Structure 1
Amino acid sequence: MAAATVEAAGHHDTLDPKTRLRANRLGLWIFIASESFLFAAVIAARFYLLGVDRPEHLNQELALLITAVLLLSSVSAFRAEDAMAHNDRPAFFRNMSATLFFGLVFMVGVFFEYREGMEFFPPQTLYGSVFFITIGLHAFHVLTGMIALALVINLAAKGHYGRDDYWGVEATVKYWHFVDVAWVFIYPALYLVSW
């Protein structure tokens, strides 16, 4: 009904491609900014509730490893987007698949970190609550990013993107970079800060 009314009134999508791309980019940056506030609130809550204390039983080696994996995923995501911009489809698929793989490795690491955490600081404790909410929130965003990566790979395989139109790739990679940057703040807040 609403679509028929809009069409009858003569309103159509009249944005030229450059204007549409600018609008899409603005919308994405607004979304990322709003998500940034969510992570900032969780990190602020960590310091408000716990000060600069942290438990001794954190698996520093695993945390460092999954941090390195996530940072590597940002490199492959950047290379995938650059490959699509240059219409180098084999390099795109290689790098985007590597990004997805790194995301999976990160999630497996988070699973083991969760399992270990349950033993040393259960969710009923103050640190456990902060730890599991923060890690869980970030893991949810990584999982969302992995789904987006898989969708973009699938659409690219069907020929939906090319040198002149790869907004889906660009948006997914920007979101992935955001997830990585969020972790760059979460990692020291949970694992490194201590007096």
Structure 2
Amino acid sequence: MAEAHQKNHDYHIIDPSPWPFLASVGAFILALGGIGFMQYNKGGEFVLFKANLTTPWLFAIGLVIVLYTMYGWWSDTIKEGKQGHHTRVVSLHLRYGMIMFIASEVMFFAAWFWAFFDVSLYPGEVEQVARTTFTGGVWPPKGLEVLDPLHLPLYNTVILLLSGTTVTWAHHALIHNDRKGLITGLALTVVLGVLFSFVQAYEYIHAPFAFKDSIYGATFFMATGFHGFHVIIGTIFLAICLLRSIRGDFTPDKHFGFEAAAWYWHFVDVVWLFLFFTIYVWASWGAPIAAGH
């Protein structure tokens, strides 16, 4: 009887799980809550099936459900790996999944870059189509002061490039079973990620333009803000890997969780280089630089 149930393949048939359903419920509540939250902030109203959803609490509930689902689902995945279910084939498929996830993120950023280049390369057409996004037929829009690309943006570029170096150091240390180097490299990467976020927050607070002021502000904050969000997610991802490294979860042969975090972080690095050279450097060429920025 035992032989009939013996696994003779490399695939892992997972046990019934509540996480896919709970993730769907959380995402749905989060989406409705996001709309209600925005309407609440601007003094509007969001009514669905006679229920008034104009409140920030629905968004908070959805966020808690999603975060709890992420914790529970990924905890189960880690347990499956420790139980030996992540065979050669399963590990390969996990890598395919991460690659496809990063590819989907590339498409997100392609949309922001498309919007930016559409308005920056053809500012005259923007003027003709939408009078509310006045550019004066030039880019950056006439009368707008921009950030100095050689000040805080360059500083953040150096920070991210250094973080890419430290996470690579940590990866090589892990492969060579150097636990101290792994922990040190990861700790430095997390610190650099946090520092990047603080610098960008300071830059946003002191920016000489706002999101709603012009199409320049809208495209700038959407592209750089979306990247900043990814930096925060990547920093959390690496911080969890740091805790797991301290706990001794990773080995030179089994460490896909860390590898996925490193891939994600390198992706964030590369996107920032494109942002820096296009939005900060090229798009501000010849424009007046705001004092102190």
Q: CA RMSD in A?
A: 2.0
1:86 matched to 2:176:
yes
Q: Deviations over 1:9-54 (max 9, x none)?
A: xx97267622122111111111111100111110111111232823
Given that 1:85 and 1:166 are in contact with CA atoms closer than 8 Å, whether structure 2 keeps it comes out as no
2:23 matched residue in structure 1 = none
Amino acid at match of 1:174: W
The runs of 5 or more residues in structure 2 that have no matched partner are 14-84, 123-138, 286-293
2:174 partner amino acid = M
SS in 2 for 1:162: coil
Map of 1:155 onto structure 2 = 244
Match of 1:165 among 231, 237, 254: 254
Counterpart among 265, 286, 293 of residue 176 in structure 1? 265
Larger Rg: 2
Name the amino acid aligned to 1:170.
E
Give the structure, 1 or 2, with the largest relative contact order (CA under 8 Å, sep 6 or more).
1
Matched letter for residue 133 of structure 1: M
- Counterpart code for 1:32: I
Alignment of 1:30-49 (within 5 A): 30-49=100-119
Report whether the alignment pairs 1:13 with 2:101: no
User: Relative to structure 1, is the Cα distance of residues 138 and 16 closer, same or farther in structure 2, using a 3 angstrom cutoff?
Assistant: closer
Does residue 63 of structure 1 match 2:63? no
Task: Pick closer, same or farther for the CA change 1:157–1:131 going to 2, 3 Å.
Answer: same
TM value normalised by structure 2: 0.59
Q: Percent identity?
A: 34
Q: Greater share of helix residues, 1 or 2? A: 1
Partners of 2:280 and 2:86 in 1: CA distance: 48
Aligned mates of 1:129, 1:147 — CA distance in 2: 27
TM-superposed CA distance for 1:177, in Å, is 0.4
Aligned residue number for residue 3 of structure 1: none
Q: How many residues are aligned here?
A: 184
- Alignment of 1:51 onto 2:121: yes
Report deviation, 1:57.
Answer: 2.5
Residue 51 (structure 2) aligns with: none
